[in-house]
Each structure stands twice: as C-alpha cells, then as structure tokens.
C-alpha cells in the first residue's frame, strides 16, 4: 500500500518536472548568441556579394542564417551599421557608436539575413568586429 503511494507521488513529481521543462522550452528558449558562435564560413566581402549576384537562390541556401566571417574595407559608418566595400551592410546588436573609420580594413562576424536587391547589398545582423588590420 505504502509502495503504491510512493509510486504515485513519484509519477506526479515527474509529470510536474516534465511540464516545467516543456513550458520552459516553449516560452523561454534562448535566442542564438551569434557573437559567441563560431563562424562556419570565412570569406571576403567581394566573394559573398558576387555569390549573391550570380545566383541568389543558391547563395541563399549556402549562407542564409549562417554565422559568417567577412573581410572587407569600411566604405561607410552609420548609426549601428557599417558598410563593407559598398556591398555588405552589417548591423550591430546594441545601439552604439562604432569606433571605426572609413577606409579601415577589418573582419566582422555576423548572421547572414539575405540579399537586398533594392540596395544591392547583402545584409548581416548581430555583427561583431573580430579584428582590425
């Protein structure tokens, strides 16, 4: 009799725990932390841009949502954004004044969001600067 009670209690506790995990997974699962993810592709701004210009759909399959490291030269600095080689628009996560100057060569890391044919630019978000030359 006592054994049965223990089992029932155990099942209830397990059920509550499971419900808790499901709830947590559904409502509180974390967003990706791009800054701490390893870049899976490393390439130059020119290569990335020409891949999208040549064949947008295969470039989309190849790069979309991937964390990539891009090397290029800064051609414009805007609030929260830098433009590389007039081809890549990289948005940084937090509103910050970027301490970089036009003409600097550097490597950034970020998530590829896709190709914007109105601007003729590849968009990157959640960018961070890896190194400056």
Binding site for another protein (CB under 8 A): 25-27, 29-32, 60-61, 64-65, 78, 80-81, 89, 91, 111, 113-119, 123, 125
Residues 75 and 108: their CA atoms lie apart, in Å, by 14
In the complex with another protein, which residue's Cβ is closer, 55 or 78? 78
Backbone angles phi, psi at 46, to 5 degrees: -60, -45
Largest CA distance in the chain: 80
Residue 59 burial (10 A CB sphere; 0-12, 13-18, 19+): buried
- Picking from 101, 44, 110, the residue whose alpha carbon sits closest to that of residue 74 is 101
CB of 133 to another protein, least distance (A): 26
* Residue placing its CB nearer to another protein in the complex, 69 or 90: 90
Q: What distance in Å separates the CA atoms of residue 90 and residue 68, rounded to the nearest whole number? A: 11
Closest contact distance (angstroms) between CB of 23 and another protein is 11
Q: How far is the CB of 31 from another protein (least distance, A)?
A: 4
Nearer to another protein, 7 or 79 (CB): 79
Question: Is 37 or 116 the residue whose CB approaches another protein more closely?
Answer: 116
Q: Least distance from C-beta 12 to another protein, angstroms?
A: 26
- At residue 111, φ and ψ (nearest 5 deg) are -95, 135
């Amino acid at each position: 009799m006592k054994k049965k009670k223990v089992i029932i209690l155990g099942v209830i506790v397990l059920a509550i725990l499971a419900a808790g995990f499901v709830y947590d997974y559904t409502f509180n699962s974390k967003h990706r932390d791009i800054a701490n993810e390893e870049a899976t592709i490393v390439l130059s701004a020119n290569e990335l841009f020409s891949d999208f210009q040549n064949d947008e759909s295969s470039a989309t399959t190849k790069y979309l949502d991937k964390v990539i490291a891009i090397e290029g030269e800064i051609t414009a600095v805007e609030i929260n954004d830098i433009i590389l080689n007039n081809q890549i628009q990289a948005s940084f996560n937090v509103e910050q004044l970027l301490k970089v100057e036009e003409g600097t060569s550097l490597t950034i890391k970020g998530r590829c969001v896709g190709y914007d044919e109105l601007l003729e630019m590849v968009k990157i978000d959640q960018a961070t600067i890896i190194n400056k030359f």
